[in-house]
Structure 1
């Protein structure tokens, strides 16, 4: 979803558990960057468990305001042949 001053995204995370016991995740703090622009940051505070030797995918709804960063964002997207570098810090 996108409005002028607010955009909504869904971030999909995958947590791998290579251990022989269940892993309990109590929360996640995250930051997402496109190039050097901070797209969003936040916290996910819902608990979940990942079984032994398995993985779990979960979705975090986020929202941001890209309006103050429109010019640098357009510059990142000028070359459709070039990948947009991103960093997810969690």
Structure 2
């Protein structure tokens, strides 16, 4: 692994681990050419947090998200609700921070 990638991953992982609430928005839509790819690596981060600390997760995924069954299944098993819109996901995260 390149040093730059390692440092970015170390920084991201530390941030997630230290957070009180972790919001994941997972639209899983392929973007037009030239646009950045959707957050495919987010799947690994969500899976890790579902195993580590599911109570901290606020998860959002629109109903039509591509290849979302795996994450939906494990979220359900972990008791993590899935919000259908970004607005609802953010509102749920803010509510968790206010509680």
What TM-score do you get using the length of structure 2 for normalisation? Answer: 0.21
User: Which of structures 1 and 2 has the larger relative contact order (alpha carbons within 8 angstroms, sep 6+)?
Assistant: 1
What TM-score do you get using the length of structure 1 for normalisation? Answer: 0.22
- Bigger Rg, which one: 1
Query: Hey, which of these two has a bigger chunk of helix by percent?
Result: 2
